[in-house]
Amino acid sequence: MQEQPKNEKKQIDELTKNENIEKQQLIKNLQDIESQETIEEIEAVEQLEQEVKPANRKMIVLNFLLIIVIFIGLFIYMIKVDGIDNITQLLHEVNYKWVALGLVCLLIHWFCEALNLHIPLKKMYSNQKFSNSFRVSMIGQLFNNITPFSTGGQPMQAYELSKTGKRVSNSLSAMAMKFVITQTALVVTTLVVVLFEFSFFANLMQNYLWIAILGFGVNILAIIFVILAGIKKRIITFFTTPIIKLLGKIHIFKNSEATIEKLDKSIDNFREQFLFMKSEKKMVLQMFTTAVIQSLAYYSITYMVYRAFGNSGVTFWQIIPTQAFLLLIMTFIPTPGSGLGAEGGFYLLFQSIFEYGTINMSILFWRLYTFYLPIVIGALFLIPEKRKEGF
């Protein structure tokens, strides 16, 4: 009779021992996972640091010099074509009420840009402050404008966020969410306006309509590509893997296998965030609404410049699709801030609706709003500051 309690006690001891072993193994596995994630995070930060090292800073200096040359070239061209007297008269007659409204539109654009970065970051990190999101957003404005194809903004933003404890993968995922929603809002807003003002738009763009269709098509494909990365990884890798291998063979990529592995991890991480987006419909709606306001604010700058120099006859809603098309053109121009291409595109698209003698000064004012001011103000946010935890 005493043998049975002994056996039961022995079995309980063995079960307890096994449970302790399992717990220890689980803790070890979690520590290994955490350790691996820490290693990956360190590697990600180191990679970002490589992208902002002095070697790349030399390229940034060259880009700055190119920007200055373009500005001086535009100014010399204006003096030669319009003459000092006409330029002086225009500056004297300009309606500064519309100039001020242009600045208001720019501030709204900046605010919405920062807000759409802040919303997903706040979901991931409850202690994230809007002041930090705004600062990082403005630094992104700076580096987007001084690097070809706006390639410098996101790495610099992720690097700055890593200084306040944000994981690089999470920061890049937040930016990917922002990209998808912003591009969707941009395309939807523009298409709706084009439908209502199609006759005006088609007449103005009669020589470039096929380029407009192609540009909108490319944007829609980009959105589809990113969405597929979130729901159908196999389709994306089916196309990207052979392309990366081919680029590796012609030595564009040093290590194609490492690039494929890195892309695979990025897609996996984005899929997690995409599922997060699907479960946060309210957040997505907030970001979409903010992106629509942001797009309209940016497009409004052109209308404010149009009115500032005494132009009339073309409505606000007629300016919007033309400005949206110009923005699409600018994304394909491989110079910092789409220099030369942006100015040339503005001239070709808007010269017929601006009064004679005002187009060149309008280009200068438009670029001050959309290019030079973001560079100057963005640079101010790079000034070192004392950081608090969570700021």
Task: Give the C-alpha separation, 322 to 226, whole Å.
Answer: 26
Residue 261 has pLDDT above 80, yes or no: yes
* pLDDT > 90: percent of the chain: 28
Range of the domain at 12: 1-43
Mean pLDDT computed over every residue of the chain: 81
> Predicted confidence band at 304 (pLDDT cuts at 50, 70, 90)?
very high
Least reliable range by pLDDT among 36-50, 97-111, 135-149, 350-364: 36-50
Q: Which of 167-176, 222-231, 370-379 has the highest mean pLDDT?
A: 370-379
> Is 222 part of any domain?
yes
User: Are 291 and 185 contacting, i.e. CB atoms less than 8 angstroms apart?
Assistant: yes
Q: Within this chain, do residues 159 and 76 fall inside the same structural domain, yes or no?
A: yes
Q: What is the pLDDT of residues 172-225, one digit of tens each?
A: 888 888 988 998 898 888 888 888 888 888 888 777 777 777 877 887 888 888
Residue 147 has pLDDT above 60, yes or no: yes
Residue ranges of alpha helices (H) inside 126-255 are 130-145, 153-162, 168-196, 198-204, 209-231, 233-249
Q: Within this chain, do residues 125 and 72 fall inside the same structural domain, yes or no?
A: yes
Give 293 or 236, the one with higher predicted confidence: 293
> Predicted confidence band at 239 (pLDDT cuts at 50, 70, 90)?
confident
Q: Within this chain, do residues 170 and 279 fall inside the same structural domain, yes or no?
A: yes
- Segment 327-347 shows an average pLDDT of 84
> Is 391 part of any domain?
no
Separation of first and last alpha carbons in the chain = 69
User: Are 337 and 67 contacting, i.e. CB atoms less than 8 angstroms apart?
Assistant: yes
> Is 201 part of any domain?
yes
Q: Within this chain, do residues 14 and 59 fall inside the same structural domain, yes or no?
A: no
Q: Within this chain, do residues 85 and 131 fall inside the same structural domain, yes or no?
A: yes
pLDDT of residue 19: 57
> Is 225 part of any domain?
yes
Q: Within this chain, do residues 29 and 59 fall inside the same structural domain, yes or no?
A: no
Residue 51 has pLDDT above 70, yes or no: no
Q: Within this chain, do residues 202 and 259 fall inside the same structural domain, yes or no?
A: yes
Residue 387 has what DSSP assignment?
A: -
Q: Within this chain, do residues 13 and 87 fall inside the same structural domain, yes or no?
A: no
pLDDT of residue 41: 54
Task: Give the C-alpha separation, 29 to 35, whole Å.
Answer: 10
Residue 363 has pLDDT above 90, yes or no: yes
> Is 217 part of any domain?
yes
Q: Is the pTM of this model over 0.75?
A: yes
Neighbouring C-beta atoms of residue 117, cutoff 10 Å: 26
Structure tokens at 250: 């012609």
Q: Within this chain, do residues 10 and 154 fall inside the same structural domain, yes or no?
A: no
> Is 345 part of any domain?
yes
Taking Cα atoms as reference points, which of 113, 151, 106 lies closest to residue 130?
113
> Is 203 part of any domain?
yes
User: Are 304 and 109 contacting, i.e. CB atoms less than 8 angstroms apart?
Assistant: no
User: Are 153 and 143 contacting, i.e. CB atoms less than 8 angstroms apart?
Assistant: yes
Least reliable range by pLDDT among 57-71, 113-127, 363-377: 57-71
Number of domains in the chain: 2
Q: Within this chain, do residues 35 and 174 fall inside the same structural domain, yes or no?
A: no
- Segment 90-109 shows an average pLDDT of 95
pLDDT of residue 387: 45
Q: Within this chain, do residues 37 and 69 fall inside the same structural domain, yes or no?
A: no
Taking Cα atoms as reference points, which of 132, 192, 80, 150 lies closest to residue 375?
150
User: Are 366 and 302 contacting, i.e. CB atoms less than 8 angstroms apart?
Assistant: yes
Q: Within this chain, do residues 85 and 27 fall inside the same structural domain, yes or no?
A: no
Structure tokens at 244: 């990366």
Residue 21 has pLDDT above 90, yes or no: no
> Predicted confidence band at 47 (pLDDT cuts at 50, 70, 90)?
low
pLDDT of residue 390: 43
User: Are 76 and 155 contacting, i.e. CB atoms less than 8 angstroms apart?
Assistant: no
- Segment 367-386 shows an average pLDDT of 86
- Segment 291-295 shows an average pLDDT of 95
> Is 390 part of any domain?
no
